[in-house]
Structure 1
Amino acid sequence: MTVPEPAGEPDLSIPSSARIYDFFLGGGHNFAADRALAERIVELVPAARETAVANRAFLGRAVRACLDRGCRQFLDLGSGIPTVEPVHEIAHRHDPSARVVYVDSDPVAVAVGRDLLDGNESATITAADLTDPDAVLSAPGVAGLLDPAEPTAVLAVAALHYVGDDELVARLLDRYCSAFGPGSMLVFSHGSADVDDPAAVSGTEDLQRLARDSGHPLVVRDRATLRRLTARVDPLEPGLVDIGRWRPGEPGPGPVLGVYGLVGTVRDQSR
C-alpha cells in the first residue's frame, strides 16, 4: 500500500503536538523544540504526562471493546506517531487480519509511521487533515484498505480539541461516523473545562494561552457540549466519563484528569 509522501521538509524547530505526545508517552520520536514545550506544559499542568499515559491506556481499552463488538477496521484520526502501544499492535494481538489506518497532518509522524509500518499489509498511515473528511476518506491509504460497507471504529482520541468550532466538530463526527457500515463505533476523548472539577482543570487557561502562542490552539469543552457533539452515538457503559474511569480494570479508577472519554455504537439514522 502506498502512503502519500509528506509535503516538503518539516521545520523541526517548530514543536508538534504529535511529537510532544510521543515524548510524554516515553517514545523516541521527538526533538528539542518538542521537549522544551512539553516541559513548559508540565509547569502549567503537572499531570500532563500522567494524562497522556492515561489517554493511551483508555485508547487500548476502547480498541479492545470495539474488537469485542465485531469491529475489525479502525480509522485513527489525528493519530500521532503509531508507537508505544499503538492501535495496530493492540488489534493484531486480537486478530491479525484487523485493518488499521492512521491519519495525521504532521509530516514527521507520517514519515516515522511509514517506517514503522513498512511491510505491514494491514496498516497504513496517511498524510491528511482530519478537517477535510472527503480528502481523508478518498486517500489511497484509506480507501484502499478500509471497506466502507463494514463496521469500522472511528477513533477521535485527543484530536478534536484542536478544532475550534463546535459545529464543525459535529459535522466532522457525523461525516466520519456515517462513512461506514452498520455496527460502526466511535472512540472519543476530549479535554474538559468543567467547573465542578476545579483541581483537574487547574492551569487550563494558561495551557490554552501557551498552545495558542505556540501555533497549536487548544479548545476545551464541558460535558454538556461533548454529549451534544456525540449525540448520534449510543454509548457503552459507563458512558461519558473521565478517561481513568472508563472500564479501568485493575487496580481500579485513576485520578480525575479533566479529559472525558466515550465509546459507543453509531446509531442507525434510518430508524
Structure 2
Amino acid sequence: MTPITGTAAGVPFTALPPAGDGPAPLIATWHMLDAPRSDAAFAAALPMHDVPAWRVHLGMPMFGARMVDGSMDAAIALLQQDVLMAAMHPFVRQATEEFPAALASIREQLPVDDGPIGVLGGSLGGAVALNVLACTEIPVFAAALVNGAIRMRSVIDLFPGDYPYDAESERVADALDFVAGADRIAGRAPLLAVSGELDHPAFREDAADLVAALGDGAELLPIPGLAHPLADEPGIEPAPQLPLAKQVDAGLTAWFRRHLAA
C-alpha cells in the first residue's frame, strides 16, 4: 500500500491503509529515538500490512519532519543540556498532550471508525503509548511496546554520568515509571511487550516486570538476536525492512489481529 503523508493538528504522520473499502479501526504508533527515528521510517520497519486497520505512524517532537532546520542538532543539544527535563520528559509530555487533537483530525481526514484504537510505541514512543493509557480516557482495544521505555530511570541510566536528580525530576521519573504505576494502566487494554533479547538489560527487565505487574491480559514476546534499534542508521528515511524487524512485525500483526477479531 502506498503511504499517505499528512499533518493532524500539527503532528506529522505516515498512514498505511488497510485492504478494502469503508471505515476501519485505527492503530496509532510513536517511533523510537533510535533508528527508525521518524514516522516514515517506523512505518517502513513495522508496516503490519496484514492488519485490517489503518496504521497511522505519528512523528515525535523534534524528530523526522519536526527536526529543526532539517537536522538532529537541536534535539541532541537538548539531550546534552538535561536528558530528562529538557528532552525525554518534554518529548513524552508533548506527544501525549497533542494526541487527542491529532486523533480527532485523523478521523476527519481518513475513513477511520469511531471505535477503540490500538496504540504502539517503540523505545521512547513506548512511554508515549503507556502515557496515553495512563493519562487519557481514549478507549484502546490493544496496546503494544517494542523495546519500550517503561521506566524512565532505565533510559536516563543509559547516558554517561550520574544524573543530578532533584525533587522535580524525581517526581517526573516516578510518573514515567509504569511498573511502579502499573495500577494506572491495569485493565485499560491488553498489552504486548516485545523485547529484544539483545536489548539493554534494564529494558528487558522492565518489560518482564511490567507484564508481571499487569497480570492477565499482558504478554511478553522475546525476539532472539534483536538489539534495541529496528533499522540501520541513520534511520530517518524509509528503508527496507530488516529480517529481525520482520519478526517483530509478524508478532505485532498477530497480536492486533487477535484483538481486532475479539
Instruction: Mark yes or no: TM-score above 0.5.
Output: no
TM-score by length of 1: 0.39
Greater relative contact order (Cα < 8 A, sep 6+): 2
TM-score by length of 2: 0.40
